Amino acid sequence: MTRIALIAALFLVGACTVDPADDGPVENFVDIPDPETDGLSVDFEMPEWTVPAGTEKLMCWVPDWSPDSDLLVRGFNFLQGDGGHHLTMLRTVSTVPAGEMWDCTSLESMTGLEPLVITGDDDITGMPEGFAFRMDQGAQLVVQSHYVNYTDTDWLVRDWGRLLLTDPASNPTEVGYLVLNHGTFELPQGEVSEVDVGCTLPGTEDFNFLMWFGHMHDLGTDITISANDETIYDTEWSIDFRDLPPITQYPEADPLTMAAGDRVVVDCTFNNVTDHAVGFPEEMCVGVSIFWPVTDENVIICGEDD
């Protein structure tokens, strides 16, 4: 994809009750927490936007903030209203004016975006103690909000996120993200379909993996991840896993080690019981990992052609 959506990390968060309104969309807001005072976090309050009834939408927003020095990041926590699927911190390789918002539901509308922070500190994919992700000075950030509104009422939403930083004095090990995402499949109506996306590991150095997890939506039935044809993740998919996927984890002392040139493949099986053909982002076939050491790029994105 120049991927998101990942991604990569992806959790439904409890929210306030939706209250009816006389006209227009109903407010589906969260209570905004007070900011921390330890200097190790940055808060973001996304402008209000409308999720139309009966739709699945992603909205992207460029905050008026970028780091004035390199930062070490341990996660990104967030709050969303009812129907929130994820709030993700991305970065853009192009120049976008601060404050700009756009509908980024389609793959084409995400061109130039890549994952920046996938994990939080209060979920099962949280960054392990002693590790951190480097955010470069001047990085242009994009906050992406994903909602699924299958009600008959428009929602007015206002999300909140907190970037979690690590004190450089703690000397953490720098990690990167490897994300495999298939963004162009189409699942025919009424059929069982298989989708796969692979990645040949780049560079010249070994990769030490701390974890792997898969991501699918409601139509997924099975997902596997293999490393050089050896299965490392095999899950009979459940709708409950859409927001809290099973994780294959490895201890720091005994990580999954692979060499540059090795091959990772994600295989997804879907049963499209809807009344229409389904593609991205209504369904997803994604694999996400954390690796070290970082020698070049700290975000590696693989699509169906890699």
Q: Please give the C-alpha separations between residue 173 and each of 70, 197, 220, 249, 251, in angstroms, as whole numbers.
A: 15, 29, 35, 17, 14
pLDDT, average across residues 154-163: 96
Q: Which pLDDT does position 119 carry in this prediction?
A: 63
Pairwise CA distance, residues 177 & 119, whole Å: 10
Q: Give the pTM.
A: 0.78
Q: Which residue has the tokens 């139309």?
A: 52
- pLDDT tens for 76-120 read 899 999 999 889 898 887 788 999 999 998 877 777 787 777 765
pLDDT band at 302 (very low <50, low <70, confident <90, very high): very high
Q: Which pLDDT does position 112 carry in this prediction?
A: 77
Q: Residue 51: is its pLDDT beyond 60?
A: yes
Where along the chain do its domains lie? 26-173, 175-302
- pLDDT tens for 278-289 read 998 889 999 999
Chain Cα centroid distance, residue 157: 19
Q: Which two tokens stand for residue 94?
A: 């192009």
- Taking every pair of Cα atoms in the chain, the longest distance, rounded to a whole number of angstroms, is 61
pLDDT band at 181 (very low <50, low <70, confident <90, very high): very high
pLDDT band at 46 (very low <50, low <70, confident <90, very high): very high
Q: Which pLDDT does position 19 carry in this prediction?
A: 46
Report which residue type is found at 54: G
Lowest model confidence (mean pLDDT) among 19-23, 109-113, 154-158, 245-249 = 19-23
| Architecture of domain 175-302 in this structure | Sandwich (2.60)
Is pLDDT larger for residue 85 or for residue 235?
Answer: 235
The CATH number given to 26-173 is: 2.60.120.310
Q: Residue 3: is its pLDDT beyond 70?
A: no
Q: Which pLDDT does position 295 carry in this prediction?
A: 83
pLDDT band at 28 (very low <50, low <70, confident <90, very high): very high
Same-fold call for 26-173 versus 175-302: yes
Q: Residue 177: is its pLDDT beyond 60?
A: yes
Q: Which pLDDT does position 275 carry in this prediction?
A: 94
- Name the nearest CA neighbour of 186 among 283, 268, 275: 283
pLDDT band at 122 (very low <50, low <70, confident <90, very high): low
Q: What is the mean pLDDT of the chain?
A: 86
Choose from 3-7, 90-94, 298-302 the range with maximum mean pLDDT: 298-302
Q: Residue 201 in contact with residue 250, Cβ under 8 Å?
A: no
pLDDT, average across residues 244-257: 90
pLDDT, average across residues 141-145: 93
Q: Is 201 exposed, middle or buried (0-12, 13-18, 19+ CB in 10 A)?
A: buried
Pairwise CA distance, residues 237 & 245, whole Å: 9
Q: Which residue has the tokens 């980024």?
A: 104
Alpha-carbon dihedral sign for residues 291, 297, 302, 306: negative
β-strand partners of 180: 287, 302
